[in-house]
Amino acid sequence: MANSLRIGIVVGEASGDILGADLIKALRAQSEKSIEFCGVGGALMLAENFRTLFDIERLAVMGFVEPLKRLPELITMRRTLREHFLQWRADLVIGIDAPDFNLDLELWLHERGIKTAHYVSPSVWAWRQGRVHKIKRAVDLMLTLFPFEEQFYRDHAVPVVCIGHPLADRLPLQTDTAAARAQLQIDANKTVVALLPGSRGSEVAQVGSDFIDTAAWLSARRENLYFVLPAANALRRAQIETLLEQRSDNLPITILDGQSHLAMAAADAVLMTSGTTTLEALLLKKPMVVAYRMGKWSFALIKRLVNITMIALPNLLAQRKLVPECLQDDVRADVMGPLLLEQLDNVELRTDLQREFLTIHQSLRRNASASAARALLNLVRVSSVERTAS
């Protein structure tokens, strides 16, 4: 039996690079053998002595048009990777997220006898559920971040382990709101609302004005309010400043450069677009209203494709409507304002929410990277035993 392992990892964006680097550390810490890593990774993985065959930026494509424009290059990259992993005689290949690229790669390798795993489930439970049949053929193990995903795969007889969410491991169970306010130089006596209209220009264009209108609606009904609005980058800051300049009122809104985590930590309540930041708000134990709007025809199409009745991660994790969701025509001040006001004024509601959020946080705290490494090394050990027996 070989004294070393060869493990391939393919990531497609910065979030995957973080997961990949932590996984490499955990695998090395738990393995009795030395491990050689190769595939596609970013700066954090390279710092862990990972050998990348392509710049991670070449895989970081989003949307519908961009991947089509880059299709020949992506096909060439996938072909190069699969031939390399085959000739390298990889013991295991792990795709981290990037399902459109990685699942095809995993399927090809799996059919040729290489053990494969996928880390971070695509939203197959929400839409295009038929993909689960391809996943079942493509991977020996699915690693999910959320318990409800694990149950979905068990129902479809796909080998799965829920490892919890790395963010739940990193964030403390109790949030130091006072420290966050001190860092942002916010008066401790203010009632703070964080506004997070999204990181993409299209998101801010769809909901930005309504978020600011909601701040005005609240300010007209409640004294001592203070709003923080983190801008994801310089372009988003300019976009938000333009929206504010078009108004005649002088709202107490401070635009931050990034710092969305700090803004939410300092807040009493959060108004935000649907996305992964809603999980961070939950882990920070912040009452929230989740909003989302898209083009009329896009929304009509999505409604036909999705298989879920809720979109906010806190609600999906609780398996019930825990926080308010405002979609499409409900993204307006006279709907979102009263919902936020209730979150601010209803002490019993806030206490119940924070208790629920704490329970979910604890359920997601599973030492994700170490749990993933343990499951993956077990998969490799089983594979080694099977080869020896045959």
Q: What is the pLDDT of residues 153-172, one digit of tens each?
A: 999 999 999 999 999 999 99
CA neighbor of 380 nearest in space, from 91, 143, 182: 91
Q: What is the DSSP string of 53-80?
A: EEEGGGT---SSHHHHHTHHHHHHHHHH
- Considering only CA atoms, which of 211, 5, 206, 217 is closest in space to residue 90? 5
133 belongs to a structural domain: yes
385 with 319, same domain: the answer is no
Residues 312 and 261 in one domain: yes
Torsion angle of the four alpha carbons 165, 166, 172, 176, in this order, in degrees rounded to the nearest 10: -100
Selection from 43, 40, 153, 174 nearest residue 102 by Cα: 40
**Mapping DSSP to helix (H, G, I), strand (E, B) and coil, where does residue 143 land?**
strand
* Residue 211 domain-assigned (yes or no): yes
Can you give the residue range of the structural domain that contains 229?
Answer: 177-364
The rounded distance, in Å, linking the Cα atoms of 33 and 380 is 12
Same domain, 192 and 203: yes
Cross-strand partners of 191: 225
Distance CA 25, CA 226 (A): 42
One domain for residues 298 and 205? yes
The CA distance from 291 to 352, in Å, is: 21
> Within its chain, how far is the Cα of 277 from the centroid?
7
Per-residue pLDDT at 134? 93
52 and 25, same domain (yes or no): yes
pLDDT digits (tens, 9 = 90+) for 81-95: 999 999 999 999 999
Instruction: For 143, list phi and psi in degrees, rounded to 5.
Output: -105, 115
Total residues belonging to the chain? 390
Instruction: Spell out the residues 6+ positions from residue 322 whose beta carbon is closer than 8 angstroms to its own.
Output: 312, 314, 315, 353, 356
pLDDT confidence of residue 65: 45
Nearest to 336 by CA among 326, 327, 344: 326
- pLDDT tens for residues 178-220? 999 999 999 999 999 999 998 888 889 989 999 999 999 999 9
Neighbours of 275 (CB within 10 A): 18
Cα separation, 200 vs 18, in Å, equals 21
Please name which of 268, 218, 214, 211 lies closest in space to residue 236, comparing C-alpha atoms.
211
Same domain, 359 and 375: no
Which CATH number does the domain housing residue 316 bear?
3.40.50.2000
Domain shared by 332 and 352, yes or no: yes
Which residue in 272, 252, 251 sits closest to 203, CA to CA?
272
219 within some domain: yes
pLDDT tens for each residue of 291-328: 988 766 666 555 665 656 778 899 999 989 999 999 88
83 sits in which H/E element: helix 71-88
Residue 180, helix vs strand vs coil: helix
Tell me which residues of the chain have a pLDDT lower than 50. Answer: 1, 62-65
Cα torsion 126, 128, 131, 133: sign = positive
**Closest of 269, 267, 266, 290 to residue 278, by C-alpha:** 290
* Predicted pLDDT of residue 62: 46
Same domain (yes/no): 128, 193: no
For every residue of 280-331, which 3-state class applies, written as one string? HHHHCCCCEEEEECCCHHHHHHHHHHECCCCCCHHHHHHCCCCCCEEEHHHC
Q: Are 314 and 323 in contact (CB under 8 A)?
A: yes
Residue 170 resides in a domain: no
pTM of the entire predicted model: 0.84
pLDDT value, residue 295: 67
What's the pLDDT at 385? 59
Is the residue at 384 inside a domain? yes
Residues 358 and 371 in one domain: no
The number of distinct structural domains making up the chain is: 2
Query: Within a domain: residue 169?
Result: no
Contact 327, 298 (CB under 8 A): no
Paired strand residues for 156: none
